C-alpha cells in the first residue's frame, strides 16, 4: 500500500471527524453552544444546555464519525486497489486495512478536536475516540467503558470518569492482546484526551467542576 493511500485515509478521516455536530445542533436550536454552559461543542455540554434528545444525538453522531472513518477507510479502501491500481498499488489488502483504519481513526479524532470549520477549536474527542476504539479494539473499549461507569457512578463527574478511562486505555489495549503498535496508539489517544481535559482538571482541583445532575435543559426551543 503506497504512501498516498495513507494520506487519503488520513485526510478523509479528518474531514469526517471535523463535522462539528454539537455546534450544528445548537445552531438549529438558535444557540451557539460555544457560548453556553462550559462552551464545549461535545455531547456532555449539549446534554447540559439543550437536553437529553439533542445530547444523545450528538453523542451518537460523534461516535459514528470515528467508527465510520475506520470502517470506511480501513475496511473498504483496500478493496479499491483493483479498481484504482495507479493510486493504491497492487499489493493484497491483508493487514494493511488495520493500519489504514488506524490512520483514518486518529485523524477523525484530531478532526473533532481541532475542526477546520471552527478555527481549529473543537471538542474533547471522547465519543469519537469511543467510535474508533469500537471499530479497532472493542475489547479495550469495553474495559474502559466499565471503568468509566464505575468512576462516574462514584463521583458524578463526567470529566473525571473520562480522564480515568483515558488513563487506563493503553493498559486495556495491552492486556486485551492487541500488541505494541496499537498499545502506543492507545497511549497517544489517552494522552490527547487527558490534555483536552486540562480545564476540567483545573476545575476538579479547585472544586468548581460541574457534577452531573438530572435537570431540564437551560435553553429551550425558540418560539
**pTM: predicted TM-score of the whole model, two decimal places:** 0.88
Give the separation between CA 90 and CA 143, rounded to whole angstroms.
38
What local confidence, expressed as pLDDT, does residue 90 receive?
Answer: 42
What local confidence, expressed as pLDDT, does residue 143 receive?
Answer: 97
pLDDT, one tens digit per residue, over 12-36 is 999 999 999 999 999 999 999 999 9
Find the mean pLDDT for residues 184-211: 95
Find the mean pLDDT for residues 97-119: 94
C-alpha separations of 57 from 16, 84, 145 in Å: 16, 36, 19
Contact 23, 118 (CB under 8 A): yes
Nearest alpha-carbon partner for 146 in 102, 108, 176:
176
What local confidence, expressed as pLDDT, does residue 213 receive?
Answer: 75
Mean pLDDT over the full length of the chain? 89
Q: Does pLDDT of 95 surpass 80?
A: no
State the pLDDT confidence band at 98, using cuts at 50, 70 and 90: confident
The structural domains of the chain, with segments of one domain joined by +, span 1-135, 137-213
Judge residue 117's burial from the number of C-beta atoms within 10 Å of its C-beta, 0-12 exposed, 13-18 middle, 19 or more buried.
middle
Amino acid at each position: 500500500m503506497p504512501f498516498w493511500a495513507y494520506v487519503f485515509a488520513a485526510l478523509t478521516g479528518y474531514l469526517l471527524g471535523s463535522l462539528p455536530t454539537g455546534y450544528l445542533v445548537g445552531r438549529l436550536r438558535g444557540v451557539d453552544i460555544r457560548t453556553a454552559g462550559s462552551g464545549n461543542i461535545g455531547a456532555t455540554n449539549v446534554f447540559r444546555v439543550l437536553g437529553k434528545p439533542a445530547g444523545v444525538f450528538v453523542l451518537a453522531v460523534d461516535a459514528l464519525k470515528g467508527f465510520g472513518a475506520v470502517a470506511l477507510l480501513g475496511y473498504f479502501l483496500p478493496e479499491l486497489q483493483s479498481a484504482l491500481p495507479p493510486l493504491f498499488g497492487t499489493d493484497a489488502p491483508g493487514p494493511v486495512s488495520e493500519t489504514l483504519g488506524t490512520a483514518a481513526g486518529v485523524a477523525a479524532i484530531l478532526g473533532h478536536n481541532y475542526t477546520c470549520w471552527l478555527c481549529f477549536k473543537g471538542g474533547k474527542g471522547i465519543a469519537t475516540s469511543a467510535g474508533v476504539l469500537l471499530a479497532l479494539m472493542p475489547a479495550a473499549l469495553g474495559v474502559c467503558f466499565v471503568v468509566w461507569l464505575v468512576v462516574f457512578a462514584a463521583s458524578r463527574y463526567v470529566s473525571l470518569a473520562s480522564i480515568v478511562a483515558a488513563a487506563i486505555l493503553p493498559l486495556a489495549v495491552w492486556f486485551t492482546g492487541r500488541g505494541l503498535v496499537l498499545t502506543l496508539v492507545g497511549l497517544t489517544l489517552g494522552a490527547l484526551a487527558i490534555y483536552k481535559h486540562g480545564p476540567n482538571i483545573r476545575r476538579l482541583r479547585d472544586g468548581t467542576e460541574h457534577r452531573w445532575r438530572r435537570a431540564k435543559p437551560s435553553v429551550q426551543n425558540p418560539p
